Amino acid sequence: MSEANTYLDMELLRFSTAGSVDDGKSTLIGRLLYDSKSIFEDQYEAIEQTSKKKGEEHVNLALLTDGLRSEREQGITIDVAYRYFATPKRKFIIADTPGHIQYTRNMVTGASTSNLSIILIDARKGIIEQTHRHTFIASLLGIPHVVFCINKMDLVDYDEAVFERIKKETEAFASKLDVKDVHFIPISALKGDNVVNRSENMPWYKGSTLLYLLENIHIGSDHNHIDCRFPVQYVVRPQKEEFHDYRGYAGRIAGGVFKAGDKVVALPSGFSSSIKSIDTFDGEIEEAFAPMSVTLTLEDEIDISRGDMIVRENNQPTVSQDIDLMICWMSNKPLQERGKYAIKHTSADARCVVKEVRYKMDINTLHRLEDEKEIGMNDIGRVSIRTTKPLFFDSYKRNRITGSVILIDEATHETVGAGMIL
């Protein structure tokens, strides 16, 4: 097959990486990029030079993922950076997020769009506090697949017993969390064992390499294809003779499968109609599913605008102004009980008031701190809010798109909170 065709039926996998400082995250990403031949010569030469300048013995693959200058100077990653690579099977988007305690917000951000999370554990140290936190965040953010990479196996003589012990301990606490699909791989990011190439040093390991797993893990069910949800994003009204009466509702399917002829209801009005056509620039299509961007036309003229939602009659989301959330706070200014914020949910904009802080999570021990009401930067807690108008939502567990919100400070317009609806 020629290059031109191989790329046409690739799938997209978005994953994020987590680990504490020096667990080898940058080295691992560099290794994936390098061994999958996704690094360009000029990039390689640049890091080769930098490595030499710093007097390092080997070309430091970790430098490949090193971003902005201030970080280069501090030698740390301070934000989410996105990397790309592809194999003939899949295209990958890596959300590279740092593992420091103060940067929960970045991990949450990176995790929010990921199908898979790689959590690094240093084989010499085993499970540490951060491992709990990273796993908790992956579970909270509803990442469907979690891969624990036990790294630096070369420093523990590629010992199976070390791997098995860490695996057992991790399974024990991961089972208390809501992570569905868990994998364990013993690797050496530095030497390349089991990253792209199978390790000759660990014949006892019968599972797949990391890249093989990334290429083959089943991601077809990561979207909700059951509950039909179509948040109306934009109303298309062409000012053209031939489309004089055209009124199309543009949006991206958030769940379920929509077909021409389906009976639907528009929220909040509650008016029923049926789907006349599903339009795209390339012509009408029979059915549409998440995450397709399409334009729906309806048989009846009903008043629908941005922020409304088109759903199936017999499967409707919760419609309410009172919402319970797990929230991750992202601002230096702590969350204010009774505080008012702007809120965004699918294509809807509203305002809300925080009625109550129920508890704060200790994200290392997973204890609920019922007496602690102050939710500051990088804290996660449970809150109840009331919105100025009803939102149409599902639980985050059921649908990551219709179950997520962001809170915005009305004075600074900063995004201050990421909320997952319970």
Ligand X SMILES: Nc1nc2c(ncn2[C@@H]2O[C@H](COP(=O)(O)OP(=O)(O)O)[C@@H](O)[C@H]2O)c(=O)[nH]1
Contacts to another protein from residues 205-224, by CB under 8 A? 220, 223
Q: Candidates 75-83, 174-182, 195-203, 265-273: pick the segment binding another protein (CB under 8 A).
A: 75-83
Closest CA to 332 of 374, 361, 367, 381: 374
Residue among 183 and 191 whose Cβ is closer to ligand X: 191
Among 15, 16, 18, 24, binds ligand X (CB under 6 A): 24
Nearest approach in angstroms of CB 187 to ligand X is 7
Q: Candidates 14-22, 126-134, 173-181, 369-377: pick the segment binding ligand X (CB under 6 A).
A: 14-22
Q: Candidates 157-165, 184-192, 363-371, 413-421: pick the segment binding ligand X (CB under 6 A).
A: 184-192
Q: Candidates 109-117, 124-132, 189-197, 207-215: pick the segment binding another protein (CB under 8 A).
A: 109-117
The answer to the question of residue 91 lying near another protein (CB under 8 A) is yes
The answer to the question of residue 188 lying near ligand X (CB under 6 A) is yes
Residue among 9 and 57 whose Cβ is closer to another protein: 9
Residue among 20 and 399 whose Cβ is closer to another protein: 399
Residue among 87 and 151 whose Cβ is closer to ligand X: 151
The answer to the question of residue 236 lying near another protein (CB under 8 A) is yes
Residues binding another protein: number (CB under 8 A): 80
Among 33, 121, 190, 343, binds ligand X (CB under 6 A): 190
Contacts to another protein from residues 23-62, by CB under 8 A? 40-43, 46
The answer to the question of residue 62 lying near ligand X (CB under 6 A) is yes
Contact string (CB under 8 A) for another protein, positions 241-280, x = contact: --x--x-x-xxx----x---------------------xx
Among 35, 83, 339, 395, binds another protein (CB under 8 A): 83
Residue among 165 and 252 whose Cβ is closer to another protein: 252
Contact string (CB under 6 A) for ligand X, positions 139-168, x = contact: ------------xx-xx-------------
123-142 burial, b if ≥16 CB within 10 A, otherwise e? beeebeebbbbbbbbbbbbb
Binding residues for ligand X, rule: CB under 6 A, are 19, 21-27, 62, 151-152, 154-155, 188-190
